[in-house]
Structure 1
Amino acid sequence: MNNLSAIDLNLLVVLDALLAERHVSRAALRLNKSQPAVSHALGRLRLLLDDPLLVRRGGRLEATPFARSLAPELAAILGQLQELLETPGFDPATARRTFRLAMSDYGATLLLPRLIRMLRKDAPFCDLVVGQAGREVMQSQVIEGEIDLALGVFPERRVDICDQVLFREEFICVADKGHFPESADINLDRYLACDHILVSLHADSASANEIEAALGRLGAFRRNVVIVPHWSLAVDLVRGTDLILTVARSIVPAPDHLDGLFVFAPPFDIPSFAFRQIWHQRRDSDPAHLWLRQMVAGLLAD
């Protein structure tokens, strides 16, 4: 066996996860690392310890006798190191950490300006990286450890994902006063006869959105002549057109800022939806992560 001084602590952490999981992908998820990185670490460990450590039998990985002999002591040593190095709580004023979030521009419009101001004030050494993706991709990013927190509408969630409802959202319609006087009676028939703007991240999945689903239950259909991925831009696209935008209420400016537009309730029932933040259960007790979740929830409480 090679000298153990050649093995760094990170390799021992990987070995502990591999022995616990007996599966490279699950170990990678547990460690918040990529699968290739864990596979590479396993290769290094095999060379350094001169033992295969994990061997494939019957379609699964099994620990070698040498690896099994290491497991109890390794877990105990790493546990002691964790206790030694662990700092109680999380001090945002001095902490240095990068938080990685994912959300649509709907969530970004509602949250980011306030979140950034709060971070600069209360956690000046923490960095923020924000990405955008569809619902399924964001859930995968949470599971794989690529992001800390995802915000959005997630009707179906994995059992290993934790979530918190931040608020419930309703839909409202926006139209241009020049083409639709505020006093106009826009009933369902007239609504369906008009052309529409739809906000959808992917044009090919537009038929699966909440509005089309509600119309489908009525056996009705509308024509979406403009499909855009940007919630924050959608309201301005209505100006000077005969198009109707049906959109989440929170994205529509206050009445005194509508400037030539007016809003009205949809002439059919569209169920409200829950806007959530989701995270993997392995992050649940992380003090820094808990602090971030509480900040997000507080900023969106209104």
Structure 2
Amino acid sequence: MNFQFCFHTFNIRGMNTLRGIDLNLLVVLEALLAERHISRAALRLHLSQPAVSHALGRLRQLLDDPILVRGKGGLVPSARAHEIAGPLAEALAQVRILLGPGGFQPATARRSFRLAMSDYGALVVLPRLLRAVRKAAPNIDLVVTQASREAMTAQVADGEIDMALGVFTHQPEDVHAAALFEESYACAVDAATVRDAGRLDQVAYLARSHVLVATHSERVDAIDAAVARIGGRRKIACVVPHWSVAPALIAGTNLVLTTARRSLAALEADPRYAVFDPPFALENFTFSMIWHERTDADPGHTWLRERVQAAAATQESDEPISLRG
């Protein structure tokens, strides 16, 4: 890691060394670029809003740039801010390793980690992860956001987030990946719409309309590809962006939901629903965690990755979604 290069990227006027630079300002800058909101950055840093506003003013003077400007929906990073976000994240990650203790001390550590995942990931991993983190490291905060897999990969690469959980088919060379578990598909229907066997054959499956979970505009997924291989095509009655709401949509209808089996954990023991294997071959998929090379040796990041792997190790979520009421 070349610190001189990374900090030279900031192009601080009139300074040829780091002398006189308050590194705490760079921590504030990191939070501001992540949150894009002064109050939220203050909460993340455990500082007052006036203190963060004052720090933003000093940063603007130091960098000769507005950093955050008013845009649609709130504050947006300037072009300069976008340019330095990656080098900033890399430099601070290395500074934390350099200045931190020989090992990570979770009981006393104060830090905020930025994670990205879909609501499926939040459902099957986050409850257990948060309990483990709160028990061992009560001053560690988790900030969770959601985006498409392409956007999450880009955010990891750019240093906007610390890690992402999801299904990633490929990632840049400097982004690391670790498999968390293999997931299979299952179908769910209202139990009153099927016979005693509690399942549908291919003909009955294709005769019904379906609920599709799609987190972006692309409506063709692995399920549709598998259906096409048997010469069929699903009739999509409803497209939703969230995994967690999809099971509730089939109640009282003849709709079919085909989705990740873990997201149907609450329905498995609910007599109002029938959950069964798809009536055609569907390949399993790997749910993974990705992070950037810059944080690979960070003891705190390593500790959190281990907690994520432990939280994902069991076959079912501790807290499946409830559809009663």
Q: AA paired with 1:134?
A: S
Matches within 5 A, 1:31-180: 85-180=99-194
Alignment of 1:193-232 (within 5 A): 193-202=207-216, 204-207=217-220, 209-232=221-244
Q: Which moved more, 1:230-239 or 1:121-130?
A: 230-239
Q: Does structure 1 retain, via aligned residues, the 8 Å contact 2:185–2:282? A: yes
Conserved in 2, the CA contact under 8 Å of 1:173 and 1:265?
yes
Say what the alpha-carbon RMSD is for the aligned residues. 3.1
Matched, 1:243 2:236: no
CA distance, structure 1, for counterparts of residue 97 and residue 290 of structure 2: 28
% of aligned pairs identical?
44
Gaps (5+ residues) in structure 1?
1-9, 19-30, 45-80
Give yes or no for contact 1:197–1:225 (8 Å, CA) kept in 2.
yes
Equivalent pair of 1:135/1:153 in contact (CA under 8 Å): yes
C-alpha spacing 1:123/1:242, structure 2 compared with 1 (3 Å)? same
Give the direction of change, closer, same or farther, for the CA distance of 1:177–1:86 in structure 2 (3 Å limit): closer
Tell me, yes or no, if structure 1 residue 259 matches structure 2 residue 271. yes
Structure 2 residue runs without a partner (length 5+): 12-28, 34-55, 66-94, 315-325
Distance 1:284 1:221 in 2: 44
- 1:278 is matched with 290
The TM-score with structure 2 as length reference comes to: 0.68
SS of 2:195's equivalent in the other structure is coil
Cα deviations across residues 48-101 of structure 1 (Å, max 9, x unaligned)?
xxxxxxxxxxxxxxxxxxxxxxxxxxxxxxxxx989734211111000000100
Alignment of 1:1-16 (within 5 A): 14-15=7-8
Opposite residue 238 of structure 2, the aligned amino acid is V
Shift of 1:219: 3.3
Distance 2:170 2:154 in 1: 12
Asked whether the 8 Å contact 2:198–2:276 carries over to 1, the reply is no
Residues 160 and 32 (structure 1 numbering): CA distance in 2 closer, same or farther, change over 3 Å? farther
Matches of 1:16 and 1:99 in 2, distance apart? 24
Distance 2:115 2:251 in 1: 32
* 1:206 partner SS: coil
Residue type of the partner of 2:115? L
Displacement, 1:180? Answer: 1.4
Matched residue, 1:298: 310
User: For residues 84 and 176 of structure 1, what CA distance do their matches in structure 2 show?
Assistant: 57
Q: Is the 8 A contact 2:192 2:272 kept in 1?
A: yes
Q: 2 CA distance for matches of 1:131 and 1:254?
A: 24
TM-superposed deviation, 1:257: 3.2
Structure of greater Rg:
1
Query: How many residues are aligned here?
Result: 243
- Say whether the 8 Å CA contact 1:198–1:227 is kept in structure 2: yes
Give the conservation status (yes or no) of the 8 Å contact 2:191–2:198: no
* 2:8 counterpart letter in structure 1: L
- Give distance in 2, aligned partners of 1:263 and 1:256: 6
Structure-2 separation of matches of 1:263 and 1:137: 32
Do the aligned partners of 2:268 and 2:275 also contact (CA within 8 Å) in 1? Answer: no
Kindly indicate whether the alpha-carbon contact (under 8 Å) linking 1:11 and 1:41 is maintained by their aligned counterparts in 2: no
Q: Which amino acid aligns with 1:189?
A: V
SS in 2 for 1:108: helix
Q: 1:77 corresponds to which residue?
A: none
Change (3 A) 1:301 1:243: same
Structure 2 CA distance for aligned equivalents of residues 84 and 286 of structure 1: 9
Kept in 2: contact 1:182–1:262 (CA 8 A): no
For the structure 1 residues 92 and 219, does the alpha-carbon distance in structure 2 shift closer, same or farther, using more than 3 Å as the test?
same
Structure 1 window deviating more from structure 2 (181-190 vs 258-267): it is 181-190
State whether residues 211 and 246 of structure 2, in contact with CA within 8 Å, keep that contact through their aligned partners in structure 1.
Answer: yes
CA contact (8 A) 2:268 2:274 kept: no
TM-score, normalised via structure 1 length: 0.72
